[in-house]
Structure 1
Amino acid sequence: MSNVYLNPRVAALFVLGFASGLPLALTSGTLQAWATVEQVSLRDIGFLTLVGSAYTLKFLWAPFIDRYTVPFLGRRRGWMALSQLLLGVSIAAMGLFNPSHQLGVIALLAVFVAFMSATQDIAFDAYSTDVLRAQERAAGAAVKVLGYRLAMIVSSGFALVIADQWLGWNGMYMLMGALMLACAIATFLAPEPERVVSAPHSLREAVVAPLLAFFKRPEAISILVLIVLYKLGDAFAGALSTTFLIRGAGFSATEVGTVNKIFGLAATIIGALVGGGLMAKLGLYRSLMLFGLLQAVSNFGYWWLSVSEPNLWFMGAVVAIENLCGGMGTAAFVALLMALCHQQFSATQFALLSALSAVGRTYLAGPLTPLFVEHLGWSTFFIITVLLALPGLWLLWRKRHIILALDASSH
């Protein structure tokens, strides 16, 4: 299992995943904390939440990344390096201003940071898809998750401590900018994909051809439905999990925060790494099925918490198991998205598929979970989340020949 993680194609994704995760909190939670400390009005802080719109809309300019190439470092790494250099400078530049007097300037810089961060994500996802061999995809997905999660800790939790105790907010943002610039070194050292595919000949081809290439696949609609359904039960179970643990299960906010940060984060990372290693042995289909079943069954832990007396250790075990299984499922699921992408259009196709995968979480789990809980109660709701996982697993079994063909064609 360890050998696959030491491979240069996989190992490079750790630092690149860290670079991908670093800017997000700096334009959302950490920026809101800074504005709050500087006594910015609630209305203005509310408008800052719009800064992150670029992450949702990144599929709109993904074809541009597929079509055009930066004149250094190759088709994918050139865009990554350019994004990281601009991110380093613009994040540091945020530290030159103060939100209490220059909120407009900081907001504009934050919008630019979010845009370049989303652009980096487009190029990085495409690079990961292009550079990894089939048997390395789950391990690569796991390492990306590890780097991304650690960066989120650094740019949120650690950043607040650094700002409060050592460097102040301005110095902290300058430090984070320098850290992003350091991450660009990994892009310069990362290997090029073994098979280099030429870019589309026109921007129109970059927009239209990825859709045509995907829908020429047999049973393309079934694949899209599978992408929406695979993590649906997991999405519903997690939609109000913090609210449930505090309001439904009777734990304090401090207990929930501590357990989620320690047990939850550690288990997600371990789950992704274990899932990546196991998938090298099991293959894509068996991994998706096994990890999907584990994701579904792990939701019974929340049901048990809903019908039993509060017990901190048991709550920690439930959160750990649920995150462990979720991390394994995520590693296999990201590997599936990689396998579905055509290398010539991997930036556009991955951006579209990952946006589609968020449909269940954003437009189904978010709005419907409160309704289910209000009408059925927590215990019945969590049983339903297990049942909601079954249609995706059934469809996966029915379409197993497609997944098995993806595995076979990539070896």
Structure 2
Amino acid sequence: MATTAKPARPKGLAVLRIALQSRKSATMLAFGFASGLPYALLIGTLNAWLGEVGVKLATIGVLSWIGLSYSFKFLWSPLVDRLPLPGLERLGRRKSWIFLCQAVLVLAFAGLALTDPAHAIGTFALFAFLAALASATQDVAVDAWRIDVADEQAPVELLSAIYQFGYRIASIVGGALALVLAARMSWASVYLVMGGLLLLVAFITLRAPDTPRPESATLHRELAEPGALTPAARGIALAVVGISWAWAIGTIVVFMISMLAPADPAAPLPSVGDFTRAYGPWIIAATVGVPLLTAAVTNWMKAHARSVLTAPETAVSGLRTAANHLYVALVSPLAELSARLGWGVLVVIGMILTYTLCYNIWSSFAFPFYLDFLKYSKDEVAFASKVFGIFMTMLGISLGGFLFARLGRMPTILIGAVLPILGNFAYADLAEGAPHIDALGAAIGLKTLFGLFGFDERMIRLLLAISFENVSTGIAGAAFVAYLSGIVSRNYTAVQYALLSSLTFLIGSLGRGIAGEAFDTYGYATVFRWTAAAGLVAVLFVLLEWARVRRELSARPEEP
């Protein structure tokens, strides 16, 4: 019997052509743009503005903690999923949240434009945090919208490709175009222009299709079946994990306030390094260790029939539904993972926490490094980092897929862990005048090749460093996404992936504070080498995971 082949996934400009053929796909393009633009402006471009007006790198590092909003967004995703917004619900269950977030983003960008970060960094940070929170929440609603509206004419795979296309366009607009505009107008004007673009998307949101809100029912029926933990036991586990997360987030926010808006401006600012050394391990313990331990305890209770249901649970309420959402988001993913992997879960979590550490820890300082330390122009950085660099990242992603198919999962993951370490050494060399980059570029002919396009020696150094870094991180990113996709359970795909992917950036985001202080104290080259050394921890965990996987495969019975 003949089978119908699945249509090939569109690529490149074919995605744009298809996106403009229907209202639903065109809306997805706009939503992808609306998701990518705030991230580019808040996590990267904002630091170029701060560096230009003389804000210290230590302060920039602390302000970059607003990026944790994207890591923690799964915590309030149940609220976005279940709560009708008064006055806006008539727009649609997803559209109402998306429109609200876009309105907040427009107001927050206007607030940034009206605030001078050199003299009111606390107020500036408040607007930036508000924008990051709205952006992360918009991502939750947009992801849900994409799944909800998918149908045969617009399958979720096509909508996902269109979303990524819109997101990449936004990365160029919020990165390269923003820098080009900033060379010709004030930064405040740039952010007003970007807010205007989001306002246009908000009008598109009002015309977007949506799906009706389902009637309230028992969420995740497996929680109500015999053998599942009782609601009281789940409530205790949820409270323990929730209090741990709340303490960690509260500790970070309180320190950010003390650093960016001190009660006594005349007093010396607290040390980011001291805070990270004193509280960093406890924050990791609260957000990773406590949930893992709680998951292990719930698994033990179910295995020994302690505090479990003996009959189906039939009670339904809004509070119970919300609690079930939070339990499935915070406890169930790690409980399933630890039950399936046993002690091996410690290796998996260790690898997830450290894999991107080598380059995530300094990524927020890229623009200050290029613009303020190396003295490249905004136009040069816009082209090198956000146009040329994006193509190099896409090349790296393609190479990662090729290596995954030819070499296998773990060898590609190991390559992805090693190459960014070498990339950090390349940046250390760039900070010291690029003698090794010059020699390597001349030896392999790249210096001559770039010269044919009219680039001078100084620009060639930047392009070569960015080439290696972006190709390396592209390979690492492709390998790691494939790894995470393979490690998650089919029963918990969405929530488990959301939780594990959020942990990927936790240590790197926390480390940006101490990295900023270290850049101020020791200089770029030294810190680049330190972060390269930190990447060796990821290599160790990859080797341990490789050994665990081999041991697991050898223990399986041979299949016919």
CA contact (8 A) 2:71 2:503 kept: no
Call closer, same or farther: CA 1:321–1:358 in 2, change over 3 Å: same
Q: Does 1:216 align with 2:336?
A: yes
Give per-residue Cα distances to partners, 1:277-300, cap 9 Å, x unaligned: 769x949x9467525524524644
Q: Does 1:157 align with 2:179?
A: yes
Indicate the structure with greater helix content. Answer: 1
CA contact (8 A) 1:11 1:143 kept: no
Partner of 1:358: 505
Which of 272, 290, 301 pairs up with 2:412? 290
Q: State the aligned residue count.
A: 385
Q: Which amino acid aligns with 1:18?
A: F
CA contact (8 A) 1:18 1:144 kept: yes
Give per-residue Cα distances to partners, 1:56-95, cap 9 Å, x unaligned: 653442231233356467655553343224433x146438
Which of 182, 200, 204 pairs up with 1:182? 200
Q: Which amino acid aligns with 1:80?
A: I
For residue 357 of structure 1, report the CA deviation from its aligned partner: 1.0
Call closer, same or farther: CA 1:367–1:221 in 2, change over 3 Å: farther
For residue 34 of structure 1, report the CA deviation from its aligned partner: 7.0
Partner of 1:94: 111
Q: Does 1:391 align with 2:541?
A: yes
Q: Which amino acid aligns with 2:500?
A: L
Give per-residue Cα distances to partners, 1:308-357, cap 9 Å, x unaligned: 635164663353133123124324534665674889994x6555333311
Partner of 2:471: 324
Give per-residue Cα distances to partners, 1:93-138, cap 9 Å, x unaligned: 4388464999987766554333312211333355567769897899
Q: Does 1:22 align with 2:172?
A: no
Give the 5 Å matches for 1:188-337: 189=208, 200=219, 202-214=321-333, 215-217=335-337, 218-219=340-341, 222=344, 225-226=347-348, 228-230=350-352, 232=354, 234-236=356-358, 239=361, 252-254=374-376, 259-261=384-386, 263-272=388-397, 274=398, 282=405, 286=408, 289-290=411-412, 292-297=414-419, 299-300=421-422, 303=425, 309-311=436-438, 313=460, 316-334=463-481
CA radius of gyration, larger in:
2
CA contact (8 A) 1:92 1:178 kept: no
Which of 82, 107, 112 pairs up with 1:67? 82
Task: Provide the rounded CA distance (Å) in 1 between the counterparts of 2:182 and 2:418.
Answer: 35
Call closer, same or farther: CA 1:16–1:327 in 2, change over 3 Å: farther
Task: Provide the rounded CA distance (Å) in 2 between the counterparts of 1:47 and 1:382.
Answer: 18
Task: Provide the rounded CA distance (Å) in 2 between the counterparts of 1:10 and 1:394.
Answer: 43
Call closer, same or farther: CA 1:309–1:241 in 2, change over 3 Å: farther
> 5+ unaligned residues in a row in structure 2: which ranges?
1-6, 220-319, 439-456, 554-560
Give per-residue Cα distances to partners, 1:166-222, cap 9 Å, x unaligned: xx835x444322211333437955897xxx998946221111122343122422774
Q: Which amino acid aligns with 2:393?
A: T
> 5+ unaligned residues in a row in structure 1: which ranges?
404-411
Call closer, same or farther: CA 1:342–1:93 in 2, change over 3 Å: farther
CA contact (8 A) 2:45 2:174 kept: no
CA contact (8 A) 1:23 1:114 kept: yes
CA contact (8 A) 1:59 1:352 kept: yes
Sequence identity, in percent?
23
CA contact (8 A) 2:29 2:163 kept: no
* Greater displacement, 213-222 / 234-243: 234-243
Call closer, same or farther: CA 1:345–1:309 in 2, change over 3 Å: closer
CA contact (8 A) 1:234 1:389 kept: no
Which of 97, 115, 120 pairs up with 2:133? 115
For residue 55 of structure 1, report the CA deviation from its aligned partner: 4.5
Task: Provide the rounded CA distance (Å) in 1 between the counterparts of 2:54 and 2:473.
Answer: 37
For residue 146 of structure 1, report the CA deviation from its aligned partner: 2.3
Give per-residue Cα distances to partners, 1:32-68, cap 9 Å, x unaligned: 777899x8998xx979938937446534422312333
Q: Which amino acid aligns with 1:321?
A: F
Call closer, same or farther: CA 1:396–1:202 in 2, change over 3 Å: farther
Q: Which amino acid aligns with 2:79?
A: F
Question: TM (normalized to structure 1)?
Answer: 0.64
Task: Provide the rounded CA distance (Å) in 2 between the counterparts of 1:268 and 1:238.
Answer: 15
Measured on the aligned residues, the alpha-carbon RMSD in Å equals: 5.9
Question: TM (normalized to structure 2)?
Answer: 0.50
